[in-house]
Copies of this chain bind each other. A is one copy, B any other.
Amino acid sequence: MTISAAIVGGTGYTGVELLRLLAGHPQVSLEVITSRAQAGQPVSAVYPNLRGHVDLAFSPPDPAVLAGCDVVFFATPNGTAMEMAPALVEQGVRVIDLGADFRIRDLGVWSHWYGMDHACPALAAEAVYGLPEYGREAIRQARLVANPGCYPTAVQLGFLPLLEGGLVATDTLIADAKSGASGAGRVPKPHTLLCEAGENFHAYGASGHRHLPEIRQGLERAAAQPVGLTFVPHLVPMIRGIHATLYGRLRDPAVDLQAVYEQRFADEPFVDVLPPGSHPETRSVRGSNMVRIAVHRPEGGDMALVLAVEDNLVKGAAGQAVQNMNLMLGLPETLGLQGISVLP
């Protein structure tokens, strides 16, 4: 079986990462990649790593062509997918949105953070949140998957075992998160220039970041109750990688955290619980769909400390999208996602 796939909006970093993964996927045929701005230009002229691997040129989006594909990925700015997805879903195309249009169930909250009205509330209600480790079956049945954000993936996976098990107080969760600059995208902005982001470290969005409501929604679903969360993102002078440092106060310090995490993720192909005492490194998952997690109880006290790393462009975006595609189309979940991180 060969799956025909399309990427809408492929010139950003999640777009090129999707290209890399789909080009190496044994059962996918990439039919089209759209970009109005770069229409006509060969993909490999923009991304020379794809020379010899991807022969497509960017083309303007054509609804008829997209409707002929088995699956369409949206790697577009927020607000685009919600305009184009309904017609595709109607015509039986599976849709995976790597943007934020379908991630938040409460559309009032969504409008508050994204500054626009939602174009298709009904479809938003139907959309399935694409975090396989939390709701794999629903994804298998989904017509439309909302691919999680990069921070939300790492933070949710790190907190899940604590919240599902009711192991921590839910009112003072802290997620101190750090991301490489590729999370800010490829559109040139002053703060992501090498001369501004290099040899520098700082927090941002401390008073409110768009990923906060998405994370909170997921944590509350897992905890089955409201949670109080402080989320502080930081910019790291590197290209790829997210490190989430998570803090929660244990209800019972006697709990065997290591066992809880190993058991929770025992069957997960893309979550690796490290041995006790470990400190996961972002480079160990660079270019891979893996999340690596270590748990600590500093000084044997009642604070649970969770360290989780992912590649923000893979498990935090394009890789998870391919994982969701595999699920939606009945393929083995890990197909095309088993490349080894390049290290050093």
Contact = CB atoms under 8 A, between A and B. Distances in A.
Interface of A: 13, 16, 20, 23-24, 47-53, 172, 174, 176, 178, 180-182, 186, 188-190, 192-204, 206-208, 228, 230-232, 234, 236-241, 243, 245, 247, 249, 272, 274, 277, 279-288, 290, 292, 294, 296, 298-299, 301, 303, 305, 307, 309, 339-344
Task: Name the 8 nearest CB pairs between A and B, nearest first.
Answer: A188-B188, A49-B341, A48-B284, A287-B342, A195-B344, A200-B283, A49-B343, A176-B176
Given A199-B283, A201-B238, A207-B277, A339 B341 contact: no
21 contacts: A16-B344, A48-B274, A48-B280, A48-B292, A49-B288, A49-B340, A49-B341, A186-B195, A186-B196, A194-B194, A198-B238, A201-B243, A202-B281, A203-B243, A206-B298, A207-B277, A230-B301, A231-B298, A239-B344, A286-B342, A342-B342
Contacts of A230: 247, 298, 301, 303, 305
Nearest to A188: B188
Given A307-B206, A340-B24, A343-B49, A194 B201 contact: no
Among A182, A202, A277, which residue has the most Cβ atoms of chain B within 10 A? A202
Contacts of A181: 193-195, 198
A207 B180 CA distance: 25
Nearest to A53: B340
Q: What is the oligomeric copy number?
A: 4
A263 to B, nearest CB: 18
Which of A192, A243, A279, A280 has the most chain B CB atoms inside 10 A of its CB? A279
Contact of A200 (B51, B174, B198, B241): B241
B287 A202 contact: no
Contact of A198 (B194, B234, B292): B194
A199 to B, nearest CB: 5
Nearest to A314: B342
A236 B236 contact: yes
Nearest to A269: B52
Contacts of A204: 279
A301 B212 CA distance: 14
B182 A195 contact: yes
Nearest to A46: B190
Contacts of A290: 52
Given A200-B241, A203-B243, A237-B238, A340 B192 contact: no
